[in-house]
Structure 1
Amino acid sequence: MVGGVGMAMAAVMAMACQDARAEVGEEAKEAGGPEKSLAATAYWNIPRHGEQYVTGIVGANIGALRLETRVNYEARRAMSAFVGWTFAGGEALTYSATPIVGWVGGDVRGPIGGLEASLAWRKFDYYIEIEYVHDQRERESSYVYAWSELAYRPADWLRLGLAVQRTRAYQSDRDIQRGPFAQVTFKRVTAGVYWFNPASSAQVVVVSMGIAF
């Protein structure tokens, strides 16, 4: 989560869908095929002094292949699509890195290059997503979007941490926004709340809801 939403997908969806991917992976191994997973997440963005809007993300993993599409993410009234390849490994300390390339159209139009990466150790995990959007229509609109999370899981169903984002999807006097977040997971559904710039006039609340298959 890049864009006005809390980036995402690999952070909210990858962490939220871990159990679902494991189940699908076992089924795929028995069938002799690659691991497959599908997840969709919606984010309700609520700037304190701005217009509310919803961002949508749908992603699929087929083995190491990553496919993803986003709506209202890099900008409002914009749609983007990506393809990437995942490299993962580790035992006590696990890692995952997915270089992605794509295209965005709408209010912002042009090619995108980026990276989604994560580290996990015991009950701690760190996720970062960063992308560069080259706007072919307005050069000054070209921009680096970023989203990262540092989290702790006191229980399998609860994830708490700190999120940081850099976005231009809405107007803000803060180039870098920070704040706490909490996520709860029940079976294949994950809900979360992010609170950026708490106790300031530039507060932004993001409410997320995701499902994995």
Structure 2
Amino acid sequence: MIKLPSILLLFLAFMSRPGFSQSAVMLEQYHLVNSGQPYLYMPVMHYQHSKNWYAEARYNYEDAETFSLYLGRTFSVQKRDFNFSFVPMLGGSLGRFKGVSTGLNIDMELNKFFFSSQSQYSRSTAVYGDYFVYNWSEVGYQSLKWFYAGVSVQHTHDRVIGNELQPGVMIGFTFNRFTIPVYTFEPFNSGRNFIVGVTMEWTRKKKKQPAYPVVKGDPPPAVSNAAY
């Protein structure tokens, strides 16, 4: 079996090759713990290009042992205390679930309040394929520089099981480029589940143009390409 993490890292390395632009890469690792069900991990990788092109790769997200890749474009509005962005996407999945998807990511910040939503419609490519609609939304408040809390909800509509709504609560801890979110859905039910995540984000600074022309054939001037 091809090692999917290696493919993802090569893809992101190619997309993030040095240039005169600014880009961002985010890695997310979620761990799902549910009583009576096997442990599941869900790695997610995001790539945001300076020209607003967007890519997202997932594993174990649409279904266990399933790899998915989404491509889209970011549209955003940035004000002094207000930031809003949405990303329409198209994607496909291989593995236990084989199908095509459309998706929409929405993020909004107003002072210390924030809202995010991730929605998708996925349909199997089988002759009599199933389909499902999924949404994960959350609203929170960043009370401290390193701590936030809020509420979250997952909604799934499946052709077979119908509608399933899972409300929950969340807390999170932020340290520089690292964030540790903790979720519990249906906390007062016997079927409660927990999701613990670790996210890391890197932003490539824009390279400075050379201060003087570079003569063809001469070595280029040394330019710092620090990332934080």
> Which category of TM-score, normalised to the shorter sequence, fits these structures?
0.7 to 0.9
The structure carrying a bigger helix percent of its residues is: 1
Matching residue of 1:104: 93
Q: Superposition pairs for residues 30-49 of structure 1, below 5 Å?
A: 33-49=20-36
Q: Superposition pairs for residues 29-108 of structure 1, below 5 Å?
A: 33-63=20-50, 64-91=52-79, 92-108=81-97
**SS at 2:37's partner residue?**
coil
Residue type matched to 2:41 in 1? V
Same amino acid, percent of matched pairs: 24
Matches of 1:105 and 1:116, distance apart in 2:
21
Matches of 2:162 and 2:119, distance apart in 1:
21
Matches of 2:53 and 2:124, distance apart in 1:
26
Which is bigger in relative contact order (C-alpha 8 A, separation at least 6)? 1
Measured after TM superposition, the shift of residue 100 of structure 1 is 0.6
Residue by residue, what CA displacement relative to the aligned partner does 1:9-65 show, whole Å, maximum 9, x if unpaired? xxxxxxxxxxxxxxxxxxxxxx98332111111111011221111011011111211
Q: TM-score, length-normalised on structure 1?
A: 0.79
**SS at 2:125's partner residue?**
coil
Residue type matched to 1:141 in 2? D
Q: TM-score, length-normalised on structure 2?
A: 0.74
Whether 2:139 is the aligned partner of 1:150: answer: yes
Matching residue of 1:125: 114
Measured after TM superposition, the shift of residue 120 of structure 1 is 1.3
Q: Is the 8 A contact 2:166 2:186 kept in 1?
A: yes
Q: Is the 8 A contact 1:115 1:129 kept in 2?
A: yes
Unaligned runs of 5+ in 1: 1-30
Residues 193 and 164 (structure 1), Cα distance of their counterparts in 2 relative to 1, 3 Å cut? same
Residue type matched to 2:46 in 1? G
Residue by residue, what CA displacement relative to the aligned partner does 1:121-156 show, whole Å, maximum 9, x if unpaired? 111011111000111126453101110010100012
Measured after TM superposition, the shift of residue 167 of structure 1 is 4.6
Matches of 1:90 and 1:176, distance apart in 2:
32
Q: Is the 8 A contact 2:156 2:163 kept in 1?
A: no
Matches of 1:157 and 1:196, distance apart in 2:
23
Measured after TM superposition, the shift of residue 201 of structure 1 is 1.2
Matching residue of 1:198: 187
Residues 212 and 57 (structure 1), Cα distance of their counterparts in 2 relative to 1, 3 Å cut? same
Residues 35 and 180 (structure 1), Cα distance of their counterparts in 2 relative to 1, 3 Å cut? same
Matches of 2:154 and 2:64, distance apart in 1:
16
Matching residue of 1:19: none
Matching residue of 1:22: none
Tell me which structure has the larger Cα radius of gyration: 2
Measured after TM superposition, the shift of residue 204 of structure 1 is 0.6
Matches of 1:43 and 1:139, distance apart in 2:
31
Matches of 1:75 and 1:188, distance apart in 2:
29
CA RMSD of aligned residues (A): 2.2
